[in-house]
Structures are given as C-alpha cells and as structure tokens.
C-alpha cells in the first residue's frame, strides 16, 4: 500500500479519487510542528540547531498518519509545490522517522494543478525531497524566530505599549510610516487650468491652454486667480483654428497571467478583496481543481495551456483575435518561486466556477489568463493644436480611438491612478478647422500629496523593493492590522501612534535592520539558499554576528536615554514648525517650559519641562490642542445640581466629569465623537447614561442602553446585545432593542457578544447545514447550528476552507456532548485532618 500525504482534506478527497485502489491519501492539515514560542528553540551556539515541537491539536492527524505509515511500503509526499510545501513534507518525514514508522521507500511528487492528468503525471515522475528548499525554509524560520524573540523583548522593556517586531513586518510598517511623513511634509501649491469646451461635427471636446502670451505653460505656471481670469478672457476673445493635427498609431499588449502579487493587487482594485481574502479564496479554487497553484512568481503558462487558451479565444471571438504566434512572458523576479507556472484556469472552456467570491475571483483569473494569449489592441492617438490669429495663445486637445480592441474586448488591467486626458475621444479634425467655442473655464487646483498605500499599492511597492516574498504578503499585512500598528480606512493604510513610535525606535536604534536595501539583500541570500548557491548556517551566522551585540547594546541604555534619543529623532513630527518663527516646543499652558517626549506606564506622551508645577500633557502624536491636557475645561453647569461639568484628559482618553471628588460622576468620551465637538449638551447626555429604553413587553423588566468597556450595548435582565454606534445608544427604540436582544440570545445565550458570523462558509458537504465562522468568547469557532467546534491555533480563520470546517464539526460531533458529571471538584477546605 502507498500512503500519500497532502495538506488539506479537500485535496486528499480529490486525489484519492484519482489514484484509486492501493493508495491511501491523508491530510496533514498544514504544518504539523513548529518552533515552540520560548527561549532556546534556536541555538546559535550549536550551528543554529532547532528544537521542533508537534502541534498539540495535530495529535489525531499524526496518529492516523503514523498508523497508516506502519502498514505502507511507500510514503509519497504530495504537498504543495513550493518552499512551504517542501517543509511540510520534510516535517512529516522527520516525525515518522522519529516514531520509527517511516516506510522503506519515500518519494516526493509535485503538481501545479489538482487534475487527474497532472496528478497522474506527477506520480509517474517522483523525486527526492529538495534539501535546498528545506534549508531555505529552516533559515527563514530561524531568522524570523531570532529577530522576533530577540527584538520584541527589547521593545517591551524600552518602549511601553509596543507589542512586537518582525524581520519583514517592521520594514513594511516603515513603508507606511514613511509615506505618512511625506504627506505631512508636503506643502500644497495653488495652480489654475484654463480649458475651452469646443464642438466639431456635433461632438464636444475639451482643449487645454498650453501657450499664453507667447510662453509655454506647464502645469503650475498659472499660480493665482488674477492670471487665470486674464488667460480665460484671452481665450474667450480669441478665434482659434486648428494649426496642426498629429495622429500616430499605438499598440497595447496584454498583461501576462497572474502571479501571486499581481492577483492580490488586481483583486484589491477590482473586487475590493484584502490580500488574505484573495489567498483564501484562491486556495479553495485550487483545491477544487479550478485553477493552478496560487503561490507563484512565474508568468509563463505550460505549452498545452497556451494552446487551450488560443483555441478558447478562437471559439469565443474569431481568428483575428488570436496572435500569429503564441505569447511567451518572462518573469522579472530573480528567483521565481521555483519556476512555477502562472495562475490560470485548469480548463479554459470553463468560464465560471463556484459562486459568490469564488466565482468573482475565478472570472478575474480566467479573463486575465485568456487575454494574455489574445491579439494586441490597436489604437490611434491624436493631438490637435489650435491657435488664435496672433499666435500668442494656443490650445491643445488630445484623445485616442480604439481601431481594434484585441484583448481589451475581454479584459483591461485596473489602475491605481486616475484616467488621463489621452483616453478621451476626439472628433476628426483637419488643419484650418475652426471648432465652435461652447465655453471657457478657469479652474483652481491644489497639488496633492502622494496617496497613502492601499493593499494593492503596498504589495506592489514591497515587490518592487524585494521586501518579503509574495506568498507572505497577506500574513504580513494582517499582522500589522492585528497589532493595531495601522488602521485600514477607506482601503488605505494609516499608521497609528504605536506604529509610528515602534518605527521611530527601530530606525533610531536598529536602522540597518529596517532599511529597505538590507532587507532586500537578505531576501536575495535566502533565495540563494533555495537555489543551492549559499549555505543556510553561514547566512544565519553572518546576520547573528552583528545583530546580537546590537540588541545587547540597546538593552544597556537607560529608559531616559532612549526617550531623549526618540525626542530628538521625532522632533519634526511631534513639534512641527508653526511657520511664524515661534518655538514649537514652548508650553502653551505655562509659557516658560519646553515640551518634550516622556515615557510612562501606558506609553509615550508629551509633557512640560516645568512638571510638577505645570501639569500640561499631550498624547503622543502631532499635537493638536484636543489631545492636550492643560487641566479641566469647564463646559458649563448642570441645570439640576448647579455643579460644574468639565472635560478632562485621562490615561485612557478624554472624559466628562460632574462635580469634584472621588464620588463625582464620570463618562468617557467615545472615540467616534471628536473632542472639539464636546459641549455641555453632549456631556450631559453621556453623564445621564444608562438610558432606559422602556420595559420589555414579555418580562416587564427595563431595557437600558449605555456605553461600556467594549462599546455601546443594550442590557436586559442580565443579558446583553451590542449596538452598532454611539448614536444608537440615544436613538434605539423599543422594537429594535427587543429584536437585538432576541438575536443576541439565539443559541441559548451562550455568549453576550454579537451573533453575526464572521463568514458564511457554505453548506456542509454531507448534512447540507449552513456552516458559519463565528467569533466566540474563547476565540473563533465554526458551527452548523447544532455542533460547535473551536478552531485549532494552527488554522488561520481567514484561510479556513469549507472542507476543513466540516471536518472539525464532524470530529467534534463524533466525541459526543460534553459530560456534565466531569465538573471540577471544589478544593477541600483547610483545617480538616
């Protein structure tokens, strides 16, 4: 019997169907072991020896694999065809060898698509495990461990509030912070454009003023309204005729099929997917046999796939849309994920697969791959210049016409920037024509700072710089969000105060290790290991030789020295030039002290040098007065008690207070209410909470609305339900409140939190009950309405597949309900002999 090991149960089920009798296919459910998260897992003094520990929640899978391995004569490792897949196979082999259950013959097979032909071909050409890929995996894992477990403790001790640092994560965060600095330093500049709306042959078009008073105009040449209006008047009074028409052909070639990073970028632009969502859906499509392997840097397709694509184009359109020769693309990446194929459909005649997100992503992949083998688009770009009788003023109109759409008939690549004027349509113009003038506009503009990174543009930038590898981008971005180092708002990354502080600390004390060039060079060295061009231990030794002493040096510094260095490093951000010549560090409260960065138990903040006489403080960040604490601000008097109502700054943010003393009533100012808008009316509303909505129609007991530690909520008879916003606390009515409480109570009232699922995974393959991914009190879990199953730590919620969820539910159901008789006994009372 031959035992075949793959990662997922969905993949196992499909492959076992292809292989038939004599084969047993089992899933490892991803990695089966890892470096335990504690000191000593990697020993630099012993050749970077690593201590691996089996995942506790993989005991069942490992036992099943071990039992079957003892009966098998051949072990076939069929995990994914990349470095991680090679590593999983290596771990399985090592675990079986340690248990003395390794079959006599061990083979490694790889296939780029889960189809019968691909699997059968792979089975006919087995190989041995690739030691170079395994070494590259070990080097990456050791590096990430050493950086994380050496650098993070330095952060915790020297930078209160910091959570972690990572080899690539910190550099990606620096990109986001650097872009924010560019935006803050950017100075807007006013400029004006003058355009004329003209008409020829019944078609209106725009022409821009490009010469005024005999001088050529650049974009910023007209800098004030007076000049703009004078130029507008000149255009209105002039009679413009066409003096030249330049037409030139233009050819646009189709983009290559998707790689991992270009798929993430395009799915973000066109579908609004995050990088992690794209990879989760693509993984499912791959396991369903719909697409080829989705972690790749390669842009080439197999010859048979190219032939199938060309045939599909001819069938769908006509022979004119098929280029004379097949198109061949070359990757720009130095080490293209071990020469994998690009991401493409396994069957080009199939233009749909799955439903919902799966169908949308498949259509994107199918169109892109098919378009890559279509004819080029032929366009005609026209530039017409018009001048007045004096020749002192000139207008220019540009546009293009699609003569033959080619691949554009099926697919056009998304863009991060706005459409340019060249893409406009123009009527046919000839020299001597005098188009009718319909109107002249003078528009004011301001130069714009560079945009914040979106997921698509950040992935693109990281790939350009060689930071990380496409297969890791999704997890890197997710880590930054999970650590609250960045906020994703309107699909743009905004660095948070904690992220800026961590980046500043690393730039000041570990500048080399967060530099773009060093990180890219280290990635190249890791690629050299996977290509057999470098020794993994030598690369680690070179890194560790400088990194370890640097961390020891920083640990020896006093917290006050760290704060002083950061105060100087962050001065342009914390104390920006006011533009009036005044000292930006001058304390606004006492007028004599100077502001500086301070470190506290709850993180960094800005304070006056005259403390304790002056108690002015400000939260870390570029100081606006709403973040400052210059003492209580009196908003007015409570009409019932006559006591002062004040706005104050506390450790956890601004709050309202009624009166003075320990017994004074207080209410926090929610984050979605700007401090600048806080007045007496708002303060009294928050101080009046909890608000009684009314008595529940069934129990007669009151329903109240209030704001707690975790946000706005409803309460009734010991049960709770979340509210969506602060405004709902004051607006929610009885009917809505009763409905929300009923929704929260569904499922027996096991949890007081929201009952909204994180994701609907689909119907159970066997019972057809809807499976949902939920956020529970003790972490994420899946449920089919009857059985709940907690997700093991090794399974990322955003990468969970339907089959994996179904397997977890089946295993939990097989164990039966928890036995109530096994409750923990109360400890024996002391004093009894």
Angle between helices 357-371 and 260-271 (to 10 degrees): 120
Instruction: Take residue 82 and report the two structure tokens written for it.
Output: 């990349």
Q: What span, in angstroms and rounded, lies between the C-alpha atoms of 680 and 556?
A: 50
CA distance 197 to 206: 5
DSSP annotation of 674 reads -
Q: Is the dihedral of CA 787, 788, 794, 800 positive or negative?
A: positive
CA–CA dist 212, 687 (Å, integer): 63
What string of H, E and C letters represents the secondary structure of 49-113?
EECCEECHHHHHHHHHHHHHHHHCCEEEECCCCCHHHHHHHHHHHHHHHHCCCCCCEEEECCCCC
CA distance 251 to 519: 38
- DSSP E strands, 405-446: 436-446
- H/E element, 316: helix 303-316
What are the tokens at 441?
């506009």
**Residue from 293, 362, 411, 513 carrying the catalytic annotation:** 293
The C-alpha atoms of residue 796 and residue 800 are separated, in whole angstroms, by 6
Which tokens sit at 211? 């010469």
234 near 413, Cβ under 8 Å? no
Cα 733 from chain centroid?
37
Active site residue 137: no
Given the DSSP bridges, would you call strands 74-77 and 2-6 parallel, antiparallel or unpaired? Answer: parallel
Kindly provide the residue ranges of all beta strands, DSSP E only, lying in 709-796, ordered along the sequence. Answer: 711-716, 719-722, 759-763, 770-776, 779-783, 788-790
Strands 617-619 and 628-629: antiparallel
Angstrom distance (rounded) from CA 280 to CA 470: 14
d(CA 120, CA 23): 13
300 DSSP assignment: -
E strand or H helix at 2, and its extent? strand 2-6
Of the candidates 141, 531, 138, the residue with the CA atom closest to the CA atom of residue 334: 531
Task: State the residue for tokens 């020993």.
Answer: 43
Q: Which helix (H) or strand (E) holds 504?
A: helix 497-509
* Secondary structure (3-state) at 574: helix
The dihedral sign for the CA sequence 409, 413, 417, 422 = negative
Please identify which residue in the block is written with the tokens 């909204």: 756
Q: Contact at 8 Å (CB) between 200 and 426?
A: no
Tell me the chain's radius of gyration from C-alpha atoms: 33
CA angle 758/763/768 to nearest 5° reads 140
Q: Where is 233: in which H helix or E strand?
A: helix 225-237
Which residues are paired to 75 by β-bridges? Answer: 3, 106
Tokens for 542? Answer: 């070179």
From CA 374, how far away is CA 408, in angstroms rounded? 9
Distances in Å between the Cα of 302 and the Cα atoms of 250, 292, 336, 342 are 30, 11, 15, 9
**CA 96 from centre of chain:** 37
As a whole number of angstroms, the distance between CA 573 and CA 571 comes to 5
Q: In what order do the strands lie in the sheet with 711-716?
A: 691-695, 702-708, 711-716, 719-722
Distance of alpha carbon 586 from its chain centroid, rounded? 39
Active site residues: 293
């Amino acid at each position: 019997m031959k035992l075949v090991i793959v990662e997922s149960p969905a993949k196992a089920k499909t492959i076992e169907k292809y292989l038939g009798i004599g084969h047993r296919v089992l899933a490892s459910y991803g990695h089966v072991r890892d470096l335990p998260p504690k000191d000593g897992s990697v020993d630099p003094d012993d050749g970077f020896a690593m201590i691996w520990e089996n995942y506790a929640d993989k005991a069942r899978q490992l036992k099943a694999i071990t039992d079957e391995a003892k009966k098998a004569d051949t072990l076939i490792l069929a995990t994914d065809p990349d470095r991680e897949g090679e590593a999983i196979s290596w771990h399985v082999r090592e675990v079986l060898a340690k248990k003395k259950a390794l079959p006599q013959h061990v083979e490694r097979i790889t296939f780029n698509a889960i189809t019968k032909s691909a699997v059968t071909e792979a089975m006919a050409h087995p190989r041995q495990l690739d030691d170079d890929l395994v070494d590259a995996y070990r080097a990456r894992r050791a590096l990430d461990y050493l950086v994380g477990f050496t650098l993070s403790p330095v952060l915790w001790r020297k930078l209160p509030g910091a959570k972690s640092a990572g080899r690539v994560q910190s550099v990606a965060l620096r990109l986001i912070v650097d872009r924010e600095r560019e935006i803050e330093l950017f100075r807007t500049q006013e400029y004006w454009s003058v355009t004329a709306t003209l008409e020829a042959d019944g078609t209106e078009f725009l022409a821009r003023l490009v010469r005024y008073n005999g001088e050529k105009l650049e974009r910023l040449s007209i800098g004030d309204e007076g000049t703009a209006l004078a130029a507008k008047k000149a255009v209105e009074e002039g009679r413009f005729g066409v003096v030249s028409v330049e037409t030139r052909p233009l050819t646009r070639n189709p983009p290559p099929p998707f790689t991992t990073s270009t798929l993430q970028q395009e799915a973000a632009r066109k579908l609004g997917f995050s990088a992690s969502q794209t990879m989760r859906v693509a993984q499912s499509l791959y396991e369903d046999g719909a697409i080829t392997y989705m972690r790749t840097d390669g842009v080439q397709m197999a010859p048979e796939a190219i032939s199938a694509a060309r045939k599909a184009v001819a069938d769908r359109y006509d022979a004119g849309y098929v280029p004379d020769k097949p198109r061949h693309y070359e990757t720009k990446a130095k080490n293209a994920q071990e020469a994998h194929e690009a991401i493409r459909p396994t069957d080009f005649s199939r233009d749909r697969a799955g439903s919902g997100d799966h169908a949308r992503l498949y259509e994107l992949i199918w169109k892109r791959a098919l378009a890559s083998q279509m004819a080029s688009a032929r366009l005609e770009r026209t530039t017409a210049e018009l001048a007045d009788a004096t020749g002192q003023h000139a207008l220019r109109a540009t546009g293009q016409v699609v003569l033959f759409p080619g691949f554009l008939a099926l697919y056009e690549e998304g863009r991060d920037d706005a459409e340019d004027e060249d893409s406009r349509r123009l009527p046919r113009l000839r020299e001597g024509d005098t188009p009718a003038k319909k109107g002249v506009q003078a528009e004011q503009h301001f130069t714009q700072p560079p945009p914040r990174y979106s997921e698509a543009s950040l992935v693109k930038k990281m790939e350009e710089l060689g930071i990380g590898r496409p297969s890791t981008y999704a997890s890197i971005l997710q880590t930054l969000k999970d650590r609250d180092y960045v906020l994703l708002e309107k699909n743009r990354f905004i660095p948070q105060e904690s992220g800026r502080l961590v980046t500043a600390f690393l730039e000041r004390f570990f500048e080399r290790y967060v530099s773009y060039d060093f990180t890219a060079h280290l990635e190249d060295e890791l690629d050299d290991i996977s290509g057999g061009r470098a020794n993994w231990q030598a690369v680690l030794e070179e890194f560790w030789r400088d990194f370890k002493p640097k961390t020891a040096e920083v640990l020896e510094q006093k917290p006050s020295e760290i704060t002083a260095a950061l105060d100087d490093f962050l001065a342009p951000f914390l104390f920006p030039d006011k533009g009036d010549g005044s000292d930006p560090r001058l304390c606004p409260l006492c007028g004599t002290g100077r502001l500086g960065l301070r470190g506290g138990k709850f993180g960094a903040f800005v304070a006056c040098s005259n403390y304790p006489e002056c108690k002015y403080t400000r939260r870390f960040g570029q100081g606006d007065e709403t973040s400052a604490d210059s003492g209580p601000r009196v908003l007015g008097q409570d009409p019932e008690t006559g006591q002062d109502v004040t706005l104050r700054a506390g450790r956890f943010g601004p709050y309202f207070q009624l009166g003075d003393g320990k017994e004074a009533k207080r209410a926090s100012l929610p984050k979605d209410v700007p401090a600048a808008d806080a007045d007496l009316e708002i303060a009294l509303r928050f101080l009046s909470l909890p608000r009684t909505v009314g008595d529940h129609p069934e129990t007669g007991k009151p329903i109240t609305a209030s704001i707690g530690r975790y946000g706005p909520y409803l309460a009734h008879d010991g049960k709770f339900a979340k509210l969506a916003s602060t405004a709902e606390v004051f607006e929610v009515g009885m009917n809505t409140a009763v409905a929300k409480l009923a929704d929260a109570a569904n499922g027996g009232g096991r949890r007081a939190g929201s009952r909204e699922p994180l994701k609907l995974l689909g119907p159970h393959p066997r019972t057809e009950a809807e499976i949902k991914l939920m956020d529970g009190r003790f972490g994420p879990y899946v449920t089919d309405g009857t059985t709940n199953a907690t997700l093991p730590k090794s399974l990322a919620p955003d990468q969970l597949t339907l089959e994996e969820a179904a397997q977890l539910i089946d295993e939990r159901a097989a164990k039966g309900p928890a036995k109530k008789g096994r409750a923990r006994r109360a400890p024996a009372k002391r004093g009894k002999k």
